[in-house]
Structure 1
Amino acid sequence: MPEMHYRLRWPDDSESTCYSPSLVIKDHFEPGSSYPIEDFLARARTATQIASDRVAAKYGFACSRAADQLGEIEAVAERFARWPQARVQMIEFLE
């Protein structure tokens, strides 16, 4: 299963490099695009669930690394929950 990394830019201009166990993340985000926090989180949750389900189908267990990554994304996003215009930018996919 092809794993990948991707880079995000948060509303405070900090950046994160994140992990996905599947290329499915590409179906939910466009490099260079930015997303309101809630939309970004919904997309990230959906993509992570699909990726984890693919791992489970292939190996018999969900991807704990993907779940951990989602937890990290949610924790960072929480810092911006009160920023009404906050957006997250998908910088690039790293394959």
Structure 2
Amino acid sequence: MPETHFTLRWPDGFEERCYSPSSVIGELLSAGTSYPMKDFLHRTRIALVRASNRVEAKYGFACSSAMAQLDQIEVRAATFDGQDDATVTCLNISQ
């Protein structure tokens, strides 16, 4: 369950390095791919909840860092509400 970092480019050009406690993020996001905001949020929710669940299965407690990262992503995404053409690009994924 290697820690994984992934870098995003938001619709306004801001780049953000994000964290997942598991490589599961690579099952739902691909480096170099842009996603419509709704699809991106759906994928990251699934990935970070799965990552937290993997931590819980292994260590007996959920990963608060994964849930905090998801919260941060959702707050940032909310700033683009109403922009139907907004996309997020996953620039890279690294372990």
Q: Into which bin does the TM-score normalised by the smaller protein fall?
A: over 0.9
Matched positions, count: 95
Q: Given the two structures, how large is their TM-score scaled by the length of structure 2? A: 0.97
| Identical-residue share of aligned pairs (%) | 51
**Quick check: 1:53 aligned with 2:59?**
no
Poorly superposed stretches of 4+, deviation over 2 Å: none
Residues 20-60 of structure 1 deviation map (CA, whole Å, 9 limit, x = unaligned): 00000000011110001110000000001110010000000
Residues 34 and 88 in structure 1, CA contact (< 8 A), matched pair in contact too: yes
Is 1:33 equivalent to 2:33 in the alignment? yes
Instruction: Determine whether 1:20 maps to 2:20.
Output: yes
CA RMSD of aligned residues (A): 0.6
Secondary structure of the 1:34 match is strand
TM-score of the two chains, using structure 1 as the length reference = 0.97
